[in-house]
Structure 1
Amino acid sequence: MAKKNKQKGKALAARGAAGTSQKSSTPSDTTSSSIGCILPNFLYLAPVSETGNVNLLQQMGITHIISIGKNPVTREDGITYHKFGMLDNDQADLRAAVDKVCEVLNVIFPPKQRRTDDQPEGVEGDSDEGQVDFEELFEANLDASSAKDEPRVEGNAKVLIHCSAAISRSPAVIAGYLMKSQGMTLRESFEVLVRARDAVSPNIGFLRQLCEREREIFGLADGEKGTVDFEKLTSNVKLAKMLDIS
């Protein structure tokens, strides 16, 4: 079971990564160099500077903007705004921000259901019964994006998440969302983030909380390792370099 779910999680993560490297000929998928695609046709990461690029937001079809931080954002007609104040320091409560963002995103894009015995690779399980096929569900959601009677998301919404620089706060929140709602491991979440925007580098406090959250989500016991070794992480170094993600 663990191996099968690991493969499915990788497939879902790969689809997110694919959206960061393939340019689309359709205007709705056009992005600037500072906007990264997390989940194709749904979730994007960017610095606050891009929230004022009205033409690009319209071209991409952005319908929701989620701000992580204290700074005000210029509001544009036709876009729904959500703001969650959180400072970029080691003591900030990442869990609260992740849970609030998940509440918003789960209304737009249905979360994947994970059994309590679903574990990262290396943790044994003995049954596939009741497991969700992440790849199949994600494929179905993509295919449904053009179906009039079965929209992929509510109103074909597209969401842009940002903080000041899209380096620490918003990437950390997205990693938490990908684990909690989309069934990815922390390593897979980091891979998607790095391929979307290679400058991402959450502060050490966020990294610690994400490692703890992965253990909680997967139900890891004391002594069992998660997919990312916190002891090898440090502040002010790109995730891509720390985890050797290319």
Structure 2
Amino acid sequence: MPPRKRKPGPRSSSDAVSVILPNALYLGPRSAASSTAFLTSEHITHVLSIGISPSRKVDDVVYHRLALADSTTSPLDVTLKLSIEIIGAALESKKGAGKILVHCSAGVSRSPTIVVGYLMKKRGMTLKEALGRVIRSRPQVSPNSGFLRQLKELEVELRGDSSIDVDELPRREVDRLAYFADASTGGSGSS
């Protein structure tokens, strides 16, 4: 019996893509950035790779890549600034109908950190609101402690105070979800 062909697209819950802003901003793993079936069905126009390139590129999708190591000592400032510009331009493309997938290797630390920073700076969310939205959409998300510290510093810079009182997120998904259960999904502003 010949081996069964694997269907294109996500293979498990860790491969699934999460919708952060409906019809606009998606977060996922590297595998999604090469999935013709996913990118086509969701009409994704842009892919932003954080730290790792997809295994192959899909025609008619604009790809961007920014270097960032998943290390507690990696500085976010330059990568976040460039990411915000790329995400904003992607969402404004196609007469405001552009859609972007932001990914890293597994969609757990680097790319979620970038998405949270975008939501804070461009959508006016607190860190707790932004991280809560991302974690409720993708429970496996857990930015490393260095990224969390820098997001807290960004919030202090933007708002004068931090909405999060921990230095590290709970290890278990259920505990992370519980921590963010009371975070509103507010925030507005332009892309």
TM > 0.5? yes
Instruction: Choose between structure 1 and 2 for higher RCO, CA contacts under 8 A separated by at least 6 residues.
Output: 1
Aligned residues: 165
* 1:233 aligned partner, one-letter code: D
Partners in 2 of 1:91 and 1:44 — Cα distance? 26
Could you state the TM-score of these two structures normalised by the residue count of structure 1? 0.63
1:76 shift after superposition: 1.3
Question: 1:202-221 residue pairs with structure 2 within 5 A?
Answer: 202-218=143-159, 220=160
Match of 1:173 in 2: 114
2:168 counterpart of 1:234: yes
Amino acid in the other structure paired with 2:179 = D
Q: For residues 62-107 of structure 1, what are the alpha-carbon distances to aligned partners after superposition, in whole Å with 9 as ceiling and x for unaligned?
A: 1100000144541111000000011000011112111101111222
Match of residue 130 from structure 2 = 189
Letter matched to residue 49 of structure 2: S
SS of residue in 2 equivalent to 1:45:
strand
Q: Counterpart amino acid of 1:234?
A: E
Q: Which runs of 5+ in 2 are unaligned?
A: 1-11, 182-191
CA gap of 1:216–1:239, structure 2 versus 1, over 3 A, is farther
Structure 2 counterpart of 1:84: 66
Contact 2:30-2:52 at 8 Å conserved across structures? no
1:198–1:238 CA contact under 8 A, matched in 2: no
Matched with 2:102 is 161
Distance 1:240 1:201, change over 3 A: farther
CA distance, structure 1, for counterparts of residue 173 and residue 143 of structure 2: 8
Q: CA, structure 1 residues 88+161, in 2 after alignment: closer, same or farther (shift >3 Å)?
A: same
Deviation at residue 238 of structure 1 after TM alignment: 4.9
1:211 and 1:228 in contact (8 A); partners too? yes
Confirm whether residue 104 of structure 1 aligns to residue 86 of structure 2.
yes
Rounded Cα–Cα distance in structure 2 between residues aligned with 1:236 and 1:71: 29
| Percent of paired sites with the same residue | 37
User: Does the CA contact (< 8 Å) of 1:70 and 1:87 recur in 2?
Assistant: no
Counterpart contact for 1:201–1:238, Cα < 8 Å? no
Structure 1 residue 239, shift from structure 2 partner: 6.8
Q: 1:244 aligns with which of 156, 166, 179?
A: 179
Is the partner of 1:104 in helix, strand or coil?
helix
> CA 1:211/1:245 → structure 2, altered by over 3 Å: closer, same or farther?
same
Determine helix, strand or coil for the equivalent of 2:120: helix
Please state whether the residue corresponding to 2:49 is helix, strand or coil.
strand
1:120-156: CA deviation from partner (whole Å, max 9, x where unpaired): xxxxxxxxxxxxxxxxxxxxxxxxxxxxxxxxx4211
Structure with more helix by fraction:
1
- The counterpart of 2:77, out of the listed 90, 95, 98, is 95
Q: CA deviation at 1:233?
A: 3.1
Please point out which of 44, 54, 61 is paired with 2:26: 44
Q: Distance in 2 between matches of 1:188 and 1:40?
A: 16
CA contact (8 A) 1:47 1:164 kept: yes
Relative to structure 1, the CA distance from residue 244 to residue 47 in structure 2 (aligned partners, 3 Å threshold; closer, same or farther) is same
Q: Distance in 1 between matches of 2:58 and 2:89?
A: 22
1:108 and 1:75, CA in 2 relative to 1: closer, same or farther beyond 3 A? closer
Task: Quickly say closer, same or farther: Cα 1:70–1:236, change in 2 above 3 A.
Answer: farther
Task: Kindly report the root-mean-square deviation, in angstroms, between the aligned alpha carbons of the 2 structures.
Answer: 1.9
Mapped to 2, the partners of 1:189 and 1:54 lie a distance apart of 29
- Partners of 2:17 and 2:104 in 1: CA distance: 12
CA distance in 1, matches of 2:71, 2:46: 26
